[in-house]
Amino acid sequence: MNALRIAVAGAGGRMGRMLIEATLNDGHATLAAALDQPGAAALGKDAGEMVGTPCGVLVSSDTEAGIAQATCLIDFTRPEGTLQHLEICRRHGTAMVIGTTGFDAHGKEAIAAAARDIPIVFAPNMSVGVNVVFKLLDLASRIMDQGYDIEIVEAHHRHKIDAPSGTALRMGEVVAQALGRDLQECAIYGRQGVTGERQQSTIGFATIRGGDIVGDHNVMFCGLGERLEIGHRASSRMPYALGSLRAAHFLASKPCGLFDMQDVLGLR
């Protein structure tokens, strides 16, 4: 089996370094390029040295050249950067794993359009555990469809720029779809003052930001006399990196198409 040639966007960031480490430890993948934006502190450094394993690949801002050398780009940057990378991948026929969150409708449409030409895994969370949670939420929602109030609580580090998290929103979408509801119509994203009694048809979200919390998600089904909680806690970013590499391997046999981690894990 030929080794996948992986390019990592945002190489100098927290998630970028984790992706580099995971790639260097993957026996069936090689690091083809480590990319960062112009002016980034990591530029010119050996990407492997940042994670304790020198590899000879220097961090570069030449996105075009880096993507051209790769089988797959893994991108956990920001929507505006990811969309620029998307067009370059499309030109070069490079597969893409997108873990970036916070896209608007236009951005999601652009990703879907590009997937007609290249294979893409686009998911709000690449963790295997979180994607098992999505499956459990679908099952629980179908069984507990009457008499239960549903609340979603998520917590992340102080640097996260979007809220609720993409994972929390996906959890809400899974629950709403299982219940035959439209999340845009039933979601409650904040409560303050005299709100009146809770409407059972709503799905509530609460957001916590602080410190270095990697990612906590908890969904509560609150009934009379009992409460079911389905949750996931990440103690490092490595589960997201390992899931991303799994997604990259999945794409190796795909000519084009838009997939998510449920497809990668065979949970569809």
Q: Which residue is catalytic, options 156, 157, 217, 232?
A: 156
- pLDDT tens figures, 109-130: 999 999 999 999 999 899 999 9
pLDDT at 147 over 90: yes
DSSP state string for 64-101 = HHHHHT-SEEEE-S-HHHHHHHHHHHHHHT-EEEE---
Whether 156 sits among the annotated catalytic residues: the reply is yes
- pLDDT tens figures, 6-51: 999 999 999 999 999 999 999 999 999 999 999 999 999 999 999 9
Whether the model clears a pTM of 0.95, i.e. scores above it, the answer is no
CATH architecture of 128-234: 2-Layer Sandwich (3.30)
Mean pLDDT of 131-138: 96
- Under CATH, which number does the domain 4-126+237-264 receive? 3.40.50.720
- pLDDT tens figures, 173-212: 999 999 999 999 999 998 999 999 999 999 999 999 999 9
- The values of phi and psi at residue 25, to 5°, are -95, 0
Q: What is the pLDDT of residue 1?
A: 54
- For the chain, the domains span 4-126+237-264, 128-234
Q: Do 128 and 243 form a contact (C-beta atoms < 8 A)? A: yes
Cis peptide before 164, with omega less than 30 degrees from 0?
yes
Q: Do 37 and 262 form a contact (C-beta atoms < 8 A)? A: no
Which residue intervals of the chain are DSSP H helices? Answer: 14-24, 63-68, 79-92, 105-114, 128-143, 166-179, 183-186, 238-251, 261-264
User: What b/e readout covers 151-168, taking b as 16+ CB neighbours within 10 angstroms?
Assistant: bbbbbbeeebeebbbbbb
Q: Which residue is catalytic, options 45, 92, 160, 249?
A: 160
Q: Do 203 and 145 form a contact (C-beta atoms < 8 A)? A: no
Whether 160 sits among the annotated catalytic residues: the reply is yes
- The values of phi and psi at residue 244, to 5°, are -65, -40
Cα 51 to Cα 13, 23, 31, 157, distances in angstroms: 12, 11, 13, 21
- pLDDT tens figures, 65-98: 999 999 999 999 999 999 999 999 999 999 999 9
